[in-house]
Every structure is written in C-alpha cells, then in structure tokens.
Structure 1
Amino acid sequence: MLHRKLYQLCAEGREVCIFLRDQQRWLERVRILDIEGDLVTLRYETEEEDEICSWEEMVRLESIGAVTQKLASVPRGDVEPLVSEDCPEAEQLPDRRPNPNLD
C-alpha cells in the first residue's frame, strides 16, 4: 500500500514530509524523485547556519515509517482571506461587515 502511494506522490511531484524509522528523524519538504525496486530517491533542502544545502538520498522502502503532506495552511490572526473574483458565489464566505439595512 505504501509503495503505491509513494508512486502516486512521485508522479504528482508533491512535497511531503517523511519519517525515516531507522534514523529516527523527519525530512521536511521532500520530493520523491524515483522508486526503483525497494529504493526510494528523495530530494530535500536543509538550512545550516548561513547556507541552504540540497540533498539527494536513496533510502530503502522499509525504512520509511510515515509520510505526511500539508493539505492547507491558514494565516493566524484577524486576516481576511483573499477571494478570487471567479470564485462561485456558493463557495464565497459571507460578508462579515455589519449590514446597515438591518438596523
């Protein structure tokens, strides 16, 4: 099952987070480049001191303990979300400003 999901994520080119069971660490913002047999090729970046490093690793399928992906993110605080002009009216958020016609 994991094998098929990894193939799907690889084909879609999505960024994921992967937990490497044997190293007990999470890799964040990972792209799955290739799957060949039980070897999975991953690419990710790390930030160390004043430089950003790009890494490409080959890991065994059995060492992958978990795969997560971010579905959405919402800014904290009192921020009005941006609404596209072409957003269908049924999907638009209601107007939160007071309606002067209701007084």
Structure 2
Amino acid sequence: MLNRKIYQLCCDGQEICVFLRDQQRWIERTRIVDIEGDLVTLRYETEEEEEICSWEEMVRLESIGAITQKLAGVPKGNVDPLVSDECPEAEQLRNNQYPDSNSES
C-alpha cells in the first residue's frame, strides 16, 4: 500500500516530508522525482551558513518509515480570510459573529 502511495506522490510532484527509519531522521520539504525498482530518488534543499544546497538522494523503499504531507496552511495573527465571490452569503463569516463577552450591551 505504501508503494502505491509513493508512486502516486511521485506522479503528483507534491512536496512531502519523509522519515528514514534506518537513519532515524526526517527529510523535510522534499519531492519524489523517480522510482526505479526498490530505489526512490528524493530531491530537496537545505540552508547552511548563508548557502542554499540542493540535494538528490536515493533511498531504498524499505527504509521509508513514514510520509507526511501538508494539507493546508492558515496564517497566524489578525488576518481576514480570503472569501470567494462565489461563496453563498449564508456561508460567509461575519465580522461581529461572536461579539466580545466583556463589552456592554
């Protein structure tokens, strides 16, 4: 089952994080660029002392212990979410939907 998922992620070209169980480390923000037999080729970048290094690493399929994938991101802070023009009014967020409980009525 993991083999099929790895193949699908390779075809999609999505950015993932891979845990290598034999090295007990995570490779973050990587892409699977090729699968040949039981070898998986990963491509990623690291930042070291004001230098960005690009890496291509070949790992055995059996050494991959886990894969994580970012589904979505939400900015922190007081930022209004983007709302599509096509969003029905009943589903739109209102600014004063939850009034402050400390304010007087």
TM-score tier (shorter): 0.7 to 0.9
Give me the whole-angstrom Cα distance separating, in 2, the residues matched to 1:91 and 1:15.
35
1:90: how far off? 6.2
Alignment of 1:7-86 (within 5 A): 7-85=7-85
Give TM-score, length-normalised by structure 1: 0.86
Deviation, structure 1 residue 76:
1.3
> How many angstroms apart in 1 are the aligned matches of 2:90 and 2:55?
41
C-alpha displacement at 1:63, in angstroms? 0.6
Q: Any idea what the Cα deviations from partners look like across 1:6-58, whole Å, max 9, x if unmatched?
A: 00001111000000111111101111001111100000000001100000000
Aligned-pair identity (%): 70
Distance 1:64-1:80 versus aligned 2 partners, 3 A rule: same
Question: What is aligned with 1:101?
Answer: none
Q: AA paired with 1:53?
A: C
Superposition RMSD on alpha carbons, in Å? Answer: 1.9
Q: Which runs of 5+ in 2 are unaligned?
A: 98-105
Aligned counterpart, 2:93: 94
Measure, in 1, the Cα distance between the counterparts of 2:89 and 2:27: 39
Gaps of 5+ in 1: 99-103
Partners of 2:52 and 2:35 in 1: CA distance: 26
Give the aligned length.
Answer: 98
